[in-house]
Amino acid sequence: MTGQELSGFFGRNDFGVHLLLRLLLLRSSCQMDNQTLEMDGEDLPRPSRVKEGPKKEVQKMKWSLLKVFLMCLLACVVTTTLGVLILSLVYLKNPLYLQVVDLKTEGPPSPKPEENNVDIKFQFLNHLQTSKVHRYPGGEIQWGRFREDLGQYDSPQEMTFGQSLNRRRSKMTFATLKIKSRGLRVPHWHFNANEHGYVLQGSVWVGVISSEDPTVTTYTVSAGQVFFFPRNTVHWLKNVGLQDCVLLLFFSTHHELQTMDVDDAFFSTPEDIVARAFKPRGGVNFIRTFKKQLEDQAVNLPPNLDLLLHNVTYGQSPAEKVWRYFYDLQGSATFPFPGGLFQWAPYQRDTTTFTHLEKIFSDSLNTHEDTLTLATLRIFSNSLGQPHYHFNANEMGYVVSGCGEVGLILSGVSSNFNIAIGDVFFFPVGTQHYIKSTCEEDLLLLLAYSTGEQLETLRMKDYFRLTVDHILAQLFWKDQKDFQNFSGSSQK
């Protein structure tokens, strides 16, 4: 490439480039002088032909040639080093050129979820009612969850929500489950999560088989009541009513939920192993009469159910066993606050206010790792749930009825958004948040907190009240007396 071409490539007004060109030309000039001197040297009389003239002149001439050669070599080294440095500066001044090279050699970088221009509110909000419906013969499921496979998300908004749950280690996943009359959520267990459920509509007959007790615990759960299945506990839910049953489910994991249905385990085990384990009459030939259905039976309802069933009973275990997995949330104590009502199924260290059965449930929650606390929150029409935050729990909520507005503030992020029936929202631990009813109808929410310990909460009005007024005056640049306008302000 000629000097003119280099100048055209890097720009005419770049001082560093012109200096480089001058150095390169100097190097070329030195090389040409060296070649000339070498050619001249070949024409000099050889020592053998020098008969007259002193020896010193010949040695002096050789030393002069060597000296010129060394100087030219040094100039070449210097100009090459300077050239490399100047080219490095040129590249640093032209990052776009470097980007083009990277794109050609390495290909385009994979897009990150944060780069898809999704509104920040979808880190904390999921319009679950618009998500994909997974249909089965006996019902359907919708999910607000994290997925390993990004292709399983139905929208960028869903992906943003799911990855927010995972990135913030929420230990929460949410689903709605609808079971048709006589339909069955088949016996199954979850490898990596406890399950907490709330019956929104209808009634289900529940069975739980725990490793702690080799017998089965069965009971019926109706609208407004709660059930609990520890991790790796086999359980089932059958709709025993005439209408569809609607369940709201929380799972204590922010990873992809891992589930095993009993029928899948059966058909995945070699038939000779099953025959040896069960020892049925007819042996392996009897086992071969079982046929796996082509359609997923996760929520099962065979069309010939009446021909299959001959003796149907829905047993109820003793209350002391049932309340390890059950809580009558609707029938529990109500905690009023200005603007609404609160009911919950918590663990508490001081159980003096609990009934005997409520204490059984409280202790059961605390016994198992990573359990949740469920609650219902009713905010009266156009009323406010005061700003507050939780020290030791993430919070997830589902809008049962009404409509409202949510505001949240956490480190580096703040967002306000509206919520309506079927929406799911999420507040990471330590996030200050408020919820306001904005309809004529009361706003009813089902809430879950990611702790099986006693929930710890601090309200904004309390930490303002407990902060010394002269500290607030210095913080807000306001007269100390102004903070006496807050009711119950601290005078320490």
On the question of pLDDT at 96 being above 50, the answer is: no
Contact 396, 369 (CB under 8 A): no
On the question of pLDDT at 490 being above 80, the answer is: no
Residue 484 confidence (pLDDT): 84
Residue 92 confidence (pLDDT): 47
pLDDT tens digits for 162-203? 999 999 999 999 999 999 999 999 999 999 999 999 999 999
pLDDT tens digits for 447-480? 999 999 999 999 999 999 899 999 999 999 999 9
3-state secondary structure of 80: helix
* Phi, psi values for residue 4, rounded to 5°: -65, -40
| Sheet strand arrangement including 340-345 | 125-127, 423-427, 395-401, 443-449, 373-379, 340-345, 335-337
> What are the beta bridge partners of residue 436?
384, 405
pLDDT tens digits for 338-394? 999 999 999 999 999 999 999 999 999 999 999 999 999 999 999 999 999 999 999
| pLDDT band, very low/low/confident/very high, at 74 (cuts 50, 70, 90) | confident
Residue 9 confidence (pLDDT): 45
Contact 470, 480 (CB under 8 A): yes
| pLDDT band, very low/low/confident/very high, at 228 (cuts 50, 70, 90) | very high
- What ranges make up the beta strands (E) of 70-225? 125-127, 134-136, 139-144, 173-179, 184-190, 195-201, 203-210, 213-222
On the question of pLDDT at 109 being above 70, the answer is: no
Q: Is the dihedral of CA 296, 301, 304, 308 positive or negative?
A: positive
Q: pTM of the prediction? A: 0.76
What element of type H or E holds 364? helix 356-367
| pLDDT band, very low/low/confident/very high, at 223 (cuts 50, 70, 90) | very high
If you compute the radius of gyration of the chain from its CA atoms, what whole number of angstroms results?
A: 39
CA 57 – CA 35 distance, rounded (Å): 22
Residue 486 confidence (pLDDT): 78
Residue 101 identity: V
- What ranges make up the beta strands (E) of 269-419? 299-300, 326-327, 335-337, 340-345, 373-379, 384-390, 395-401, 404-410, 413-419
DSSP state of 36: H
